[in-house]
Structure 1
């Protein structure tokens, strides 16, 4: 059974108008207030010229108005695409405006970051979208909203990585979304359903915490942009709202789990998606929340959020499966001739059914390559999506993930194409060749390591921080390598003449990777900090004035840094300040001279997803 999001919402507006509908950070709306706010914005969109089937870009840092903008676009018979200021690469506003038929851009004029960035992108736009400032309170004329568009009309678009750095905007129809909502069978009690998503709304996994709960009368809770980098704030928000369903990537959940014990009275289900679930995380979950169900789900953007699962992880396993296809979805494990593989054998994973998206905006060639005719379907014209993932089915018929068949890799829940990162790095004037490999931390979290050959071996090589800064100008944060290792030449295997990835990986722990900066002139506090930085970053290639984010750090490793600082200087630097005090020198100036000595916990995650 399919459930249209807008139909479900309209039902809740009438059925439970005073029930809390949406919470983002410290702001909230009841269903009645959500009805009023989205209707007013939908009318503003119509007055601005938005027509059925067109796209509305919601260009804001995550807050309550982001959700209002999404739903208002639907009520105007249009579709939404959420973009956050400050994100580069395929998620930049300019790239999205080129890929989509955008009729309007919703900005927040109260945010000093937004109008300036929007102005630059809109100046280059050829289709001249209208700009609507959601902060400018207006009383639009009480015009009637349009009737529902065809079910195959777009509901939203989500950007995802392209192999050449060109954006792929996946367009999802209202019928796709309705099939996804109708497939949800998560147990809940009416009036007690409170979902919490620890994901940003620019990623489709976050929609697990929006579309289903709002369609059935639940409460949808999100951190705002100020909270998403602070795991303590995220956990406190979930606790204060009495969350019943917690949605996250495995990386983030591993860090948040010790802080969620206080949710035991209300928490019923944890849903993990976006990455493979490590078996030991299942054990950790059982220790902290033994009565809470742990679900693993899977689904590429092109198949509408998740379409396999949930797998209920409740027994010790070597591999945590993804589960079985959801209602309305088919899954096929095929060989290179599109023949089903034998049971227990790995094959290419193809997905079919009602959740398969329309394709990629303005990219018919790529759409035809990845969305192919479905020979197993009974209805004419059916398509299936080639995921590029390798999988096999266990003896119970549950599907297990066994990696990518191409060069894509997931870093903190974001799909990255290594070729796109390599192409950016090779555009640096000092780089001749580059190879990017996924590498696992001690806690099985994935980061990217870049190995590069200098264009001029006799010239002074740029510092890792300079290379990271160059990449950050063109890539999303998750795609910026955390390590940069210089090599004279890329190694080749003797037998196949292919790149010897194993030889490159050995450089990460060998002497070639230890290009440490002299610390002879550092103070004692700076040297103590340097040891902690080295432990978190897994290298010594930084100076006392290098920014943490420029030498392999990210918002996720900031928390690992904070945990270690807390062990030696309790309470000296709040985690939020580490984004401002982001050099060894600055942190040393803020710390007392005599640290306490207890060692940091041995099993502190180095990376996680927000």
Structure 2
């Protein structure tokens, strides 16, 4: 009855539930107190219809309080009492301020509905949210309710009865819900003109509990900096391996010399204290040394992902205005034009070390500038200081006992804040970082080889990357073949599938699994939850509790602490809150606010925009977003930015971006566009790839003549979700297209894919696109850049692209296709015999 995106089994939901999927029902009954019965009589005069209106109003207010939803629908039975028809009742809290307002809205809607029987819908057609409210006089048989939750007043005994599906809800959840509804009914009847917000203000017990849950203070080296702590490790463990990448290992002494040389050269080239340096590099030792070198020189670094479109990378460089840009020599040609001085990292490495230079260790100085998606059509930069990172990374190393014997697998992009811990936090702990190269980043089989070779003990990534690993090991590996060294799995940056922990334990039964939450604007991670077991009734893994020296508050609409169990906006604070948005003081003032709850001087909170609530045990439950920002495959995406870019395209008059479900069940980034004429989707994708990073390009684009509107004139996003993209026209097959289609089918888990089928419409996403690029390169030895997959997203389109590129390089693709077909015609025994023959021939 309340959740929007997630939650635990301790919450009610408003999502649609098929009646035939529910098999077990129970009933909870609460007796109304005599004062409440008298208040009901005074308000309604004993009229059963008005009693029903009062109960419907109480349920509506409870849904608002519990889930934070502003707009939803309840269902009320037809007065005929047959159970075959129901009236949808709209609840719009943007227009309702008092309980009296809610009563009047319910009364008017039901009165009008009863006078127009044609407005009723069939019992089998109740759409989301399917919550039913009735009285015994109107509907005496709750068994006819077509959903899992049915609330009614029993006329004879003045009780509230709630019949519910035990497939969906726990008994304590329903008991709490009924108690909450009855309390709201009591408060509303005694003071109907009181503002709704005041009906659920937090009491002393709630305030005390929140402060107890936020008592997270732990001593750490507040006056140290990231680079100072890494240098201490370098001095203590000079011969230990710090970094393994591209089949090479580098000691802490080598890392120290390289970062020191870079620091000295940056100073010599004019880098001032607290000045910015942009790093344009791959996933290499040079990139890691450059990050540390910038910090040792007293500056802060700005990572610019080489996979960004040129226009986006150019925007970052122009907006950040770094004092210097450092680039790997091999990537110099890819660097966008910039007015900043450009230095090659290789040249910096040949200079003298920084020994003898005065240290610039300031714990309140900036450490890095990370850009996230922005709702205005451009990304926004977030500036983070040293102290908050030292606290967060030190907490990680202490809490999870990470030290010199550990090896962390580095999978995250350098422009994603997870990589900051992978590099700097690992080096602070004296551990080893096994960095996945660009060649390996889309190949789980390569990850496994690296994990085995380097004895990786710690996995740290977004859930979608773990999903890719699990898909691979479940298809091609056994428990005996996977590396056994993994002891800790840290998952953050996105929703964690409930069943993922069990899938991990099937291969790594002793691994500790932890869910992490937070925002780039505060700390890499601000909350944690140890997934000791996964309750299959969860819709998502709980968000957990605040980490060391960090705070989490759930704030109601008027700035008051929300009571336990009530929804509000999640605010994060403590040591870790960033400086704000680079060159955007207005946005900074709107999102970074004084912390009036902790009592500390000069402390601030960050308004995350997430809807959340505290459970009675102090665990946070995340419910969704207040705005239209989403996380997909670990990347935080402002849907408004995608919509702004789409709206600038000729012929598109309006655009909406949504996350929908793919045919295979996974999340899909979709765009619905209103267009005045025919739309060339290939040209549109090509244009989007010039302005947006690959993970923000919609996987499916649906052209419409006009976008559907709701009754209040807003775009009806719920109806958009039900619209399907037009079926792609079949394209004549070619032998090459058939091979590409077979690669599509393997990646997408399908038996067959047609030559005209769109990769993204079938459920492909940015991470699978990386694997597609890797697979095509392995087969054809023709490099396919990632943007080409978005532009030519069908087997036929990619086959034509491969043909053009192969001709330019004098590669005979016909031989490749013939060999592919020959192998595919072989039986498993023939392939095995051929392999043994080749092995004997090589001896």
Q: For residues 246 and 102 of structure 1, what CA distance do their matches in structure 2 show?
A: 33
In 2, are the aligned partners of 1:106 and 1:134 still within 8 Å (CA)?
yes
Identify the residue that residue 216 of structure 2 maps to in structure 1.
none
Q: For residues 452 and 534 of structure 1, what CA distance do their matches in structure 2 show?
A: 28
Q: For residues 59 and 547 of structure 1, what CA distance do their matches in structure 2 show?
A: 32
Q: CA separation of 1:44/1:528 partners in 2, compared to 1, >3 Å: closer, same or farther?
A: closer
1:247 aligns with 2:460: yes
455, 458, 469: which is aligned to 1:256? 469
Q: CA separation of 1:444/1:10 partners in 2, compared to 1, >3 Å: closer, same or farther?
A: farther
Matches within 5 A, 1:511-526: 513-519=725-731, 521-523=732-734, 526=737
Identify the residue that residue 2 of structure 1 maps to in structure 2.
220
Identify the residue that residue 504 of structure 1 maps to in structure 2.
720
Name the SS of the counterpart of 2:645 in structure 1: helix
Identify the residue that residue 265 of structure 1 maps to in structure 2.
484
Identify the residue that residue 160 of structure 2 maps to in structure 1.
none
Q: For residues 452 and 559 of structure 2, what CA distance do their matches in structure 1 show?
A: 48
Q: 1:593 deviation in Å?
A: 4.2
389, 392, 409: which is aligned to 2:610? 389
1:404 aligns with 2:625: yes
Matches within 5 A, 1:114-513: 114-118=331-335, 120-122=336-338, 125=339, 129-136=340-347, 138-140=350-352, 144-184=356-396, 185-188=398-401, 190-257=403-470, 258-259=472-473, 261=479, 262=481, 264-317=483-536, 318=538, 319-441=540-662, 445-455=666-676, 457=677, 460-462=678-680, 464-493=681-710, 495-508=711-724, 513=725
Between 1:185-194 and 1:204-213, the stretch displaced more is 185-194
Higher helix share: 2
Identify the residue that residue 326 of structure 2 maps to in structure 1.
106
Q: For residues 142 and 199 of structure 1, what CA distance do their matches in structure 2 show?
A: 29
Q: For residues 780 and 448 of structure 2, what CA distance do their matches in structure 1 show?
A: 16
Structure 1, residues 570-605: CA drift from partner, whole Å, max 9, x if none?
x9938996769964335995434474699xxxxxxx
Structure 1, residues 411-470: CA drift from partner, whole Å, max 9, x if none?
211111111111111111121211111113356542211111223x3xx431x2221111
Q: 1:555 deviation in Å?
A: 4.8
218, 242, 257: which is aligned to 1:36? 257
Q: CA separation of 1:528/1:59 partners in 2, compared to 1, >3 Å: closer, same or farther?
A: closer
Q: For residues 89 and 537 of structure 1, what CA distance do their matches in structure 2 show?
A: 29
In 1, are the aligned partners of 2:499 and 2:534 still within 8 Å (CA)?
no
In 1, are the aligned partners of 2:501 and 2:531 still within 8 Å (CA)?
no
Q: For residues 749 and 261 of structure 2, what CA distance do their matches in structure 1 show?
A: 51
Q: For residues 778 and 345 of structure 2, what CA distance do their matches in structure 1 show?
A: 39
Q: For residues 71 and 474 of structure 1, what CA distance do their matches in structure 2 show?
A: 30
In 2, are the aligned partners of 1:197 and 1:208 still within 8 Å (CA)?
no
Q: CA separation of 1:444/1:51 partners in 2, compared to 1, >3 Å: closer, same or farther?
A: farther
Name the SS of the counterpart of 1:434 in structure 2: strand
Name the SS of the counterpart of 1:7 in structure 2: helix
Q: 1:85 deviation in Å?
A: 2.5
| Greater radius of gyration (CA) | 2
Q: For residues 576 and 272 of structure 1, what CA distance do their matches in structure 2 show?
A: 34
Q: For residues 285 and 314 of structure 1, what CA distance do their matches in structure 2 show?
A: 12
Q: For residues 79 and 140 of structure 1, what CA distance do their matches in structure 2 show?
A: 21
Between 1:307-316 and 1:356-365, the stretch displaced more is 307-316
Q: For residues 375 and 151 of structure 1, what CA distance do their matches in structure 2 show?
A: 24
Q: CA RMSD in A?
A: 3.2
Q: CA separation of 1:551/1:438 partners in 2, compared to 1, >3 Å: closer, same or farther?
A: same
Q: 1:391 deviation in Å?
A: 1.5
Q: CA separation of 1:150/1:266 partners in 2, compared to 1, >3 Å: closer, same or farther?
A: same
Q: CA separation of 1:447/1:550 partners in 2, compared to 1, >3 Å: closer, same or farther?
A: closer
- The number of aligned residues is 571
In 2, are the aligned partners of 1:525 and 1:593 still within 8 Å (CA)?
no
In structure 2, runs of 5+ residues without a counterpart are 1-218, 790-794, 804-812, 828-843
Give the TM-score taking structure 1 as reference length.
Answer: 0.86
Q: For residues 735 and 782 of structure 2, what CA distance do their matches in structure 1 show?
A: 24
In 2, are the aligned partners of 1:168 and 1:361 still within 8 Å (CA)?
yes
In 1, are the aligned partners of 2:666 and 2:763 still within 8 Å (CA)?
no
1:17 aligns with 2:238: yes
Q: CA separation of 1:286/1:574 partners in 2, compared to 1, >3 Å: closer, same or farther?
A: farther
Structure 1, residues 489-534: CA drift from partner, whole Å, max 9, x if none?
10112x33321222222222xxxx2332233x32477468658748
Q: For residues 770 and 391 of structure 2, what CA distance do their matches in structure 1 show?
A: 38
Q: CA separation of 1:17/1:277 partners in 2, compared to 1, >3 Å: closer, same or farther?
A: same
Identify the residue that residue 601 of structure 1 maps to in structure 2.
none
276, 283, 287: which is aligned to 1:55? 276
Matches within 5 A, 1:520-535: 521-523=732-734, 526=737, 530=741, 533=744
Give the TM-score taking structure 2 as reference length.
Answer: 0.63
Q: For residues 399 and 375 of structure 2, what CA distance do their matches in structure 1 show?
A: 36
Q: CA separation of 1:529/1:82 partners in 2, compared to 1, >3 Å: closer, same or farther?
A: closer
Structure 1, residues 222-277: CA drift from partner, whole Å, max 9, x if none?
21222212222222212211011111111110121353855553211000011111
1:573 aligns with 2:779: yes
Q: 1:7 deviation in Å?
A: 2.3
Q: 1:349 deviation in Å?
A: 0.4
In 2, are the aligned partners of 1:434 and 1:450 still within 8 Å (CA)?
yes
Q: For residues 216 and 189 of structure 1, what CA distance do their matches in structure 2 show?
A: 6
Name the SS of the counterpart of 1:439 in structure 2: strand
In 2, are the aligned partners of 1:451 and 1:487 still within 8 Å (CA)?
yes
In 1, are the aligned partners of 2:237 and 2:430 still within 8 Å (CA)?
yes
Identify the residue that residue 141 of structure 2 maps to in structure 1.
none
Q: For residues 67 and 44 of structure 1, what CA distance do their matches in structure 2 show?
A: 16
Name the SS of the counterpart of 2:242 in structure 1: strand
Q: For residues 274 and 684 of structure 2, what CA distance do their matches in structure 1 show?
A: 42
Q: CA separation of 1:209/1:321 partners in 2, compared to 1, >3 Å: closer, same or farther?
A: same
In 2, are the aligned partners of 1:468 and 1:552 still within 8 Å (CA)?
no
Identify the residue that residue 134 of structure 2 maps to in structure 1.
none
Structure 1, residues 289-316: CA drift from partner, whole Å, max 9, x if none?
2111111001110012111114334232
Q: 1:178 deviation in Å?
A: 1.4
Between 1:165-174 and 1:553-562, the stretch displaced more is 553-562
